[in-house]
Amino acid sequence: MKAIVYYKYGSPDVLELKEVEKPNPRDHEVLVKIYAASANAADWHLMRAEPFLARLENGLLKPKNTKLGADVAGRVEAVGRNVTQFQAGDDVFGGMPLNELGSFAEYVCAPEELLALKPTRLTFEQAAAVPLAAFTALQGLRDKGQIQPGQKVLINGASGGVGTFAVQIAKSFGTEVTGVCSTRNLDLVRSIGADHAIDYTQEDFTRNGQRYDLIFDAVGNRSVSDLNRVLNPNGICAVAGFTSLSRLFQVMFLGGKKIGLMATAKGNKKDLVFIQELLEAGKVVPVIDRTYPFPEVPEAIRYLETGHAQGKVVIAVAQNN
C-alpha cells in the first residue's frame, strides 16, 4: 500500500509517498481502508520533533514510528479475532493513539476501542475532520474546564480546527459562547453558533470589561495576568495550545489553580460516541477549510503550520465507490 512516511525530523520536505507493507490487524484491531484523514498540530510537532520533548516519545535521533496521521474515516476491510463491534463493510471513523499514528496511508490498523460507526449524515471527509480536534475541545471544556450549563464561555482561536469544535460543543452544553477570531472569520464563528464574536485585530478581549466563567484557549498567546483579568472569581481557563515555550512555562508554573494546560487529548470510545451523537443530531457540524489529495499531505501540513486554518485541513485518500 502507499503511505506518507518520514525517516528524519524536519520540515514537510522530509515527507515521502512510498510503497510500504500493508498492515495486518492484531487480535483487538480493525483493518480500515482509508477514504479520508485530517491533519493536526500533532503531525507537525512529531514531524519536526518540536518541542524537543517529542523526541522522547518518538525517537531521539530519528522517528521510531515513520508514519503520521491521527484521524481516520474509511471502511472496515478485516477484523482481528477478538473484535466484536465491527465487521467488514462497516463505515467507521476514529483517532489513532499518538504513538501509533498512520492514517496518511491507504490502510491502517486501529484498535476497536478507538473507532465508532461513521455518522450517516457525514461524508468520509467530514468524519475524518472530527476525532482529535473534537476530543481536544470536549476534554478541554469538560475535564479541565468543568463546563456547566448557563456559564459564560470564551473560546480563543474559535475559527481553527479545535476552536470550531469548541464553539459548537460549548453551545451543546447550554452555555453562552464568545468566540475570538480575526475579521475574516467573524461570520464563520457566528454561523457555528457563537453568541458573540470578538475580532482580535480590533479589540483585546482581556481589556473590554467582560468576565468569563470558562476560557478555552486554543491559541496560547496570552499571559497568565491577561487571562486572570477576564476570569470570574471561580473561573477556569483550560489552555490547549501555546505560541512559545515561555507562554507554555508561564501557564505551567504561574497559572495557579485557575489557569492550566489541559492534558493531551486522548481518543476513547465513550467520548467518540458522545461526539458521534452530537454529529448525528446536527448539533456539531465539521468545518472544513481545504481538502488536499493524498500525495499533497506535505502541502496540507505546510498550510496548517501557518496557524491560520479556517476549520480543519482534510486529506482525501481514496474515492469511495
- The binding site for ligand NAP (CB under 6 A) comprises 40-41, 132-133, 136, 156-157, 159-163, 180-182, 185, 200, 218-221, 240-241, 262, 264-265, 304, 307-310
Residue for cell digits 495576568? 225
Sign, CA torsion 78/81/87/91: negative
DSSP 163: H
In the bound state with ligand NAP, the residue whose beta carbon lies nearer, of 26 and 258, is 258
Q: Are 181 and 200 within 8 A, CB to CB?
A: yes
Which positions ≥6 away from 139 have C-beta within 8 Å?
262, 263, 265, 266, 271
Nearest distance from C-beta of residue 301 to ligand NAP, angstroms = 11
By C-alpha distance, which of 75, 97, 85, 127 is closest to 318?
Answer: 75
**Residue number, 262 or 316, with CB nearest to ligand NAP:** 262
Q: Residue 308 CB, nearest distance to ligand NAP (Å)?
A: 3
- Give yes or no for a contact between 70 and 133, defined as CB atoms under 8 angstroms apart: no
DSSP 8-class letter at 99: G
Nearest-angstrom CA–CA distance, 257 and 166? 22
**Smallest gap from residue 98 Cβ to ligand NAP (A):** 9
Q: Which is nearer to ligand NAP, 295 or 307 (CB)?
A: 307
Q: Which is nearer to ligand NAP, 127 or 240 (CB)?
A: 240
**Shortest reach from residue 264's CB to ligand NAP, in Å:** 4
Phi, psi of 136 (to 5 degrees): -60, -45
CB-wise, 4 or 189, nearer to ligand NAP?
Answer: 189
The half-sphere exposure of 288 on its side-chain side, counting CA atoms within 13 A, is: 20
Q: How far is the CB of 296 from ligand NAP (least distance, A)?
A: 17
Considering the complex, what minimum distance in angstroms separates the CB of residue 133 from ligand NAP?
Answer: 6
Nearer to ligand NAP, 83 or 278 (CB): 278
